[in-house]
Amino acid sequence: MTPALETRALVKRFGGLVVTNDVSLSIRPGARHALIGPNGAGKTTIINLLTGALTPSSGRILIGGEDITEASPFARVKKGMARTFQINQLFDDLTPLESMVLAVGERLGHGTRFWRSLASDSQAAAEAADILERFRLADVMCLPTRGLPYGKQRLLEIALAIALKPKVLLLDEPAAGVPEEDRHEVLAIVRDLPSDVTVVLIEHDMDLVFSFADRISVLAAGRLFAEGSVAEISRDPEVKAIYLGDAA
Amino acid sequence: MLTILFDGIAYGMLLFVLACGLAVTLGLMNFVNLAHGAFAMAGGYVTVVLMNRYGISFYWCLPAAFLFSAALGAVLEVTLYRRLYAASHLDQVLFSIGLVFMAVAGVDFFMGGQQQLISLPPELSGRFNLLGADIGRYRLFIIVLCALLTIALQTTLTRTRIGSQLRAAVDDGRVARGLGINVSVIFVLTFALGSGLAGLGGALGVELLGLDPNFPLKYLIYFMIVVTIGGTSSITGPFLAALLLGIADVAGKYYLPSLGAFIIYAVMIAFLILRPNGLFFREGGR
Amino acid sequence: MSPLPRQALASAFLRRKARWKPLEYGFWILALGAAFALPSQQLLLSEIAILALFAMSLDLIVGYAGILSLGHAAFFGVGAYAAGLLSLHLTAEPLTGLILSGAIAGLLGLATSYLVLRGSDLTKLMTTFGVSMLISEAANQAAWLTGGADGLSGILIDPIAGLFEFDLFGQTGYLYCLTVLFAALVIARRIVHAPFGLSLKAIKRNSRRAAMLGISPNRRIVVIYTLSAVYAGFAGALLTQTTSFVSPDVLAFHRSADVLLVLVLGGVGYLYGGVIGAVIFTVLRAWLSVVTPQYWMFWIGLVLVALVLVGRDRINPARLTAWVRTKTGRAAPSAAPLAKEEA
């Protein structure tokens, strides 16, 4: 089966510093794949390479078998890639509804509509309201985003990515910074993501990784250090040494 | 030909001294200070007043212009500029345009709108011939003085404690503060130094560039060209850009006078298209 | 099938956001009334309408596309010269002249829009500045066409569409400018409330996220920049047609700076900022030029500095009206009153 997302010998250098060193990943469609590693292992760099924020020094990136190494970030989105950010990247003075109509409208190709009002796009509005409902944001959808509690903003962060109906979803520490009482809400949403979406989770929180992932890749110092099922990785003494030991 | 080259170099050197303070505020402190020319103008007027009203020697006027503009810069930094380091570029632009407008109208009010003239000391006026080139004494003086200043500046920035503290303060203010560096003091000193150099440039430029209340607006584009084309990652970039600009401008005015400033603008836009981050920008460097 | 309540609510909210507000109606009625109530001020009113259009055009790129421009006078000046030359050499009918001048300015906008797609704020600032200086210098040099430093004079303008003659007091002129301003605002309003306008806001507010929603910014910025240039060209053409004169001053740097001040006075990013700013600016200038005719520039400078130091947001009319509204108990549209309405 063609992998949903694949990297071949991905390398990124900054000057003399190699931050991503020969990383080859192959993630099957529908997988719940976690990417873990200690601080400075190069997780964020990989996300940036995958989404096109950075260009790799060498190596290829493929989505559904199609080479997207040279594609611009927005072209990758059109190919089915979506991401959330570790630090919320929201439109502070728009309402969640507007942000969501924007995201849905872009996917439907309505974004270049020049003359028809937003409200006339009932398809986008309906779908946006639907997703907001699903993400428990319907109550606050008409309030400015900047005033929302952090947990709600975090949900919107994920909802915006889901609104794109991605094939591959990159979640960058989805629960980071969420207060304890709102945490279960975020985790439930992450757990209930549609099963046909391939999810790559970058996470620090081991409980979340072990409860969510079916496969884990361990990064250390820019290299792919180990890869395997949750059981294999949690038993691997070397992983424990570099990662768990380090985190403890 | 050689004369044009020589005049161009003198002009470029002068532009560098005028603009290097801007390179620092813009590049290192990330502040779009369109009022930079006002500090140069202040230096120019200090010179004019001291020489013409009080008969003070030109040589004494230069340090006076430097000190006056530096003090002015320091005062404005502490009272006004400091509040706007974190503001948006739009705010900085509005603020500094406002300052320029006030300076232009204010100088017009106190000094009148006419061109100001000074008479240079006799040993600096006139020309002599060297290897077939017609060398103006005053231009030679400018080249020597500006070259010395450039070397001093480069040494200060790269070799001394102040230089490394400045770079640390700019790279990460919080960390620098944590290391016990007094970031606000560093910024005041740097701002004052940049303003002072502009004032010195303004004093030197009275003879070469002319001086009237519109000076800060007239030369703004030149300063900005030096900084945008030269980039702000080092002072060598602006230095080379200033030299190129000086030579190109002098040559352009000599060979194609009808095109006026047209060429300069066209070249600048071409540069901005080809190298939007400046001619000497290095990827990864700050 | 009737839509689910949430969806109806969403559509209602979006409709309400785009709806014309009572304040807007009030403003336009006042503006129209001024044509008849202030017969001696028609020239000043035309000036305000022209400046308002110019500032609104700047708002499209500063407020919506997030491009800092210090050279917007380029489009204004090109529109002004185009209108003058068209009426001298082609047709003196103002509407034709207006549309052609807008188109010419728009072409220049389209051509130069590619220069503002890349680089930092500073690069954009310099490019826009450079383009306007270049055009100003070109107009100055091409004296055979533009009259050089003397400008273009002897421009005669026919009645509008052959029907409405420009009168001595400028009433026709004002109504003409006001109509153009109104039409421009209606069009701009539609665009910023369309998905296109929303995507521009998104690009400006957070370009990283916008890219990750699949929005490719460049084409959209080109479109809005071109439209903005057309509007500025209209404004320039209106100036030529109402004053029958083009001076090289239309391309001057201070015009780019003034319009930025006008926009900022009124507030960035909601279209009416330019209009309100133009009213304040023109009245202020008319008053100050009586008090201190020569040093007007000083006071503009002081206003700018004060505005920035006090904080633009705090004296932004949009914020003020919102503040007044909350004080008077008329909350901004939100979910709660809507829910009641739908129930």
Three-state SS string over chain C comes to CCCCHHHHHHHHHHHHHHCCCHHHHHHHHHHHHHHHHCHHHHHHHHHHHHHHHHHHHHHHHHHHCCCCCCCCHHHHHHHHHHHHHHHHHCCCCHHHHHHHHHHHHHHHHHHHHHHHCCCCHHHHHHHHHHHHHHHHHHHHHCHHHHCHHHCECCCCCCCECCCECCCCCCHHHHHHHHHHHHHHHHHHHHHHCCHHHHHHHHHHHCHHHHHHCCCCHHHHHHHHHHHHHHHHHHHHHHHHHHHCCECHHHHCHHHHHHHHHHHHHHCCCCCHHHHHHHHHHHHHHHHHHHHCCCCHHHHHHHHHHHHHHHCHHHHCHHHHHHHHHHHCCCCCCCHHHHHHHHC
Nearest CB neighbour to A111, from listed C196, C209, C211: C196
Higher pLDDT, residue B176 or C85: C85
pLDDT given for residue B181 in this prediction: 74
Lowest average pLDDT, out of A103-117, C167-181, C261-275, goes to A103-117
pLDDT band of C230, cuts 50, 70, 90: very high
pLDDT given for residue A116 in this prediction: 79
pLDDT given for residue C30 in this prediction: 92
Residues A218-235 as b/e (b if ≥16 CB within 10 A, e otherwise) read bbbebbbbbbeebeebee
Q: How many CB atoms lie within 10 A of CB B99?
A: 25
A32 phi, psi to nearest 5 deg: -115, 95
Q: C14 — contact with chain A (CB < 8 Å)?
A: yes
**C120 contacts in B (CB within 8 Å)?**
276-277
For the segment B192-214, what is each residue's pLDDT rounded down to a tens digit? 988 999 999 999 988 888 888 88
Quick check: C326 pLDDT over 70?
A: no
Quick check: C333 pLDDT over 60?
A: no
Quick check: C55 pLDDT over 50?
A: yes
Cα-based angle C160, C165, C168 (whole degrees, multiple of 5): 130
Nearest CB neighbour to B221, from listed C62, C123, C133: C133
Strands A32-36, A215-220: pairing is: parallel
For the segment B239-286, what is each residue's pLDDT rounded down to a tens digit? 888 888 888 888 887 887 777 677 778 878 887 777 766 655 444 333
Per-residue pLDDT, averaged over C290-308, amounts to 82
Nearest CB neighbour to A126, from listed C7, C190, C191: C7
pLDDT given for residue C2 in this prediction: 47
CA proximity to C76, closest of C230, C247, C274: C230
pLDDT band of C278, cuts 50, 70, 90: very high
pLDDT given for residue B283 in this prediction: 41
How would you class C143 by CB atoms within 10 Å of its CB: exposed for 0-12, middle for 13-18, buried for 19 or more?
A: exposed
So what CATH class is C38-283?
Answer: mainly alpha
Distances (CA, A) of C329 to C22, C322, C324: 16, 11, 9
Residue in chain C lying closest to A166 (CA): C213
Per-residue pLDDT, averaged over B49-58, amounts to 87
How would you class B30 by CB atoms within 10 Å of its CB: exposed for 0-12, middle for 13-18, buried for 19 or more?
A: middle
For the segment B142-163, what is each residue's pLDDT rounded down to a tens digit? 888 888 988 888 888 777 777 7
For the segment A139-190, what is each residue's pLDDT rounded down to a tens digit? 888 888 888 888 889 989 999 999 999 999 999 888 888 888 778 888 788 8
For the segment A3-29, what is each residue's pLDDT rounded down to a tens digit? 899 999 999 988 778 888 899 999 999
Centroid of chain to Cα C243: 19
For the segment A64-107, what is each residue's pLDDT rounded down to a tens digit? 889 999 898 888 998 999 999 988 889 988 899 999 999 998 88
pLDDT band of C274, cuts 50, 70, 90: very high
pLDDT given for residue B232 in this prediction: 65
Quick check: C11 pLDDT over 50?
A: yes
Å between C270 CA and nearest CA of chain B: 16
**A74 contacts in C (CB within 8 Å)?**
211-217
pLDDT given for residue C276 in this prediction: 93
pLDDT given for residue C232 in this prediction: 97
Write down all domains in chain A, each with its CATH number in brackets: 5-88+197-247 (3.40.50.300)
pLDDT given for residue B286 in this prediction: 31
When scoring C14, C189, C200 by the number of chain A Cβ atoms within 10 A, the one with the most, hence best to mutate, is C14
Cβ separation A82–C212 shorter than 8 A: yes
Highest mean predicted confidence (pLDDT) among A129-133, A134-138, B101-105, C179-183: C179-183
Residues of A (54-83) whose Cβ lies below 8 Å from C = 72-75, 77-78, 82-83
Per-residue pLDDT, averaged over B103-120, amounts to 86
User: Taking all residues of chain B, what is their mean pLDDT, rounded to a whole number?
Assistant: 83
Quick check: C339 pLDDT over 50?
A: no
- SS3 for B35-56 is CHHHHHHHHHHHHHHHHHHHCC
Nearest CB neighbour to C7, from listed A95, A98, A129: A129
How would you class C313 by CB atoms within 10 Å of its CB: exposed for 0-12, middle for 13-18, buried for 19 or more?
A: exposed
Chains contacting chain B through 3 or more C-beta pairs under 8 A:
C
Q: How many interchain CB pairs under 8 A, A with C?
A: 152
What token pair was written down for C335?
């979910």
pLDDT band of A244, cuts 50, 70, 90: low
Quick check: A248 pLDDT over 50?
A: no
Amino acid letter for position A163: A
CA proximity to A26, closest of A192, A174, A222, A198: A198
Amino acid letter for position B83: R
Read off the DSSP letter of residue B115. Answer: P
pLDDT band of C148, cuts 50, 70, 90: confident
Per-residue pLDDT, averaged over B6-32, amounts to 85
Q: What percent of chain C has pLDDT over 70?
A: 89
For the segment A40-61, what is each residue's pLDDT rounded down to a tens digit? 788 888 999 999 888 899 999 9
Q: What percent of chain C has pLDDT over 90?
A: 38
Chains contacting chain C through 3 or more C-beta pairs under 8 A:
A, B
Higher pLDDT, residue B104 or B125: B104
Residues of C (186-205) whose Cβ lies below 8 Å from A = 190-191, 193-196, 198-199, 201-202, 205
Quick check: C329 pLDDT over 50?
A: no
Q: Walk across the sheet containing A223-229 and list its strands.
A: A81-83, A168-172, A198-202, A32-36, A215-220, A223-229
Residues of A (102-161) whose Cβ lies below 8 Å from C = 102-103, 105-107, 110-119, 121-122, 124-126, 128-130, 132-133, 138-143, 160-161
Per-residue pLDDT, averaged over C50-65, amounts to 94
pLDDT given for residue A196 in this prediction: 87
Q: Is the ipTM, as predicted for this complex, more than 0.90?
A: no
pLDDT band of C4, cuts 50, 70, 90: low
Cβ separation C335–A83 shorter than 8 A: no
pLDDT given for residue C104 in this prediction: 96
When scoring B93, B221, B224, B245 by the number of chain C Cβ atoms within 10 A, the one with the most, hence best to mutate, is B93
Quick check: C325 pLDDT over 70?
A: no
When scoring B90, B221, B274 by the number of chain C Cβ atoms within 10 A, the one with the most, hence best to mutate, is B90
B206: left (phi over 0), alpha (psi -120 to 50) or beta: alpha
Distances (CA, A) of A151 to A88, A142, B250, C284: 11, 17, 62, 48
Quick check: B83 pLDDT over 70?
A: yes
For the segment C181-218, what is each residue's pLDDT rounded down to a tens digit? 999 999 999 999 999 999 998 988 888 888 888 888 88
Q: How many CA atoms lie within 13 A of C231 on its CB side?
A: 30
Domain ranges, ordered by start, for chain B: 2-274
Q: What is the DSSP string of chain A?
A: ---SEEEEEEEEEETTEEEEEEEEEEE-TT-EEEEE-STTSSHHHHHHHHHTSS--SEEEEEETTEE-TT--HHHHHHTTEEE--SS----TTS-HHHHHHHHHHHHTT-TT--SS-GGG-HHHHHHHHHHHHHTT-GGGTTS-GGGS-HHHHHHHHHHHHHTT--SEEEEESTTTT--HHHHHHHHHHHHTS-TTSEEEEE-S-HHHHHHH-SEEEEEETTEEEEEEEHHHHHH-HHHIIIIIHHH-
Residue in chain B lying closest to C125 (CA): B93
Quick check: C86 pLDDT over 90?
A: yes
User: Taking all residues of chain C, what is their mean pLDDT, rounded to a whole number?
Assistant: 85
pLDDT band of C324, cuts 50, 70, 90: low
pLDDT given for residue B70 in this prediction: 93
| Spatial distance between the Cα atoms of C116 and C65, rounded to a whole number of angstroms | 11
Residue in chain A lying closest to C17 (CA): A119
Strands A66-67, B133-136: pairing is: unpaired
For the segment A179-231, what is each residue's pLDDT rounded down to a tens digit? 887 788 887 888 888 888 999 999 877 778 888 888 999 888 888 888 888 88
**C191 contacts in A (CB within 8 Å)?**
114-115
For the segment C91-144, what is each residue's pLDDT rounded down to a tens digit? 888 999 999 999 999 999 999 998 888 777 778 888 898 899 889 988 988 888
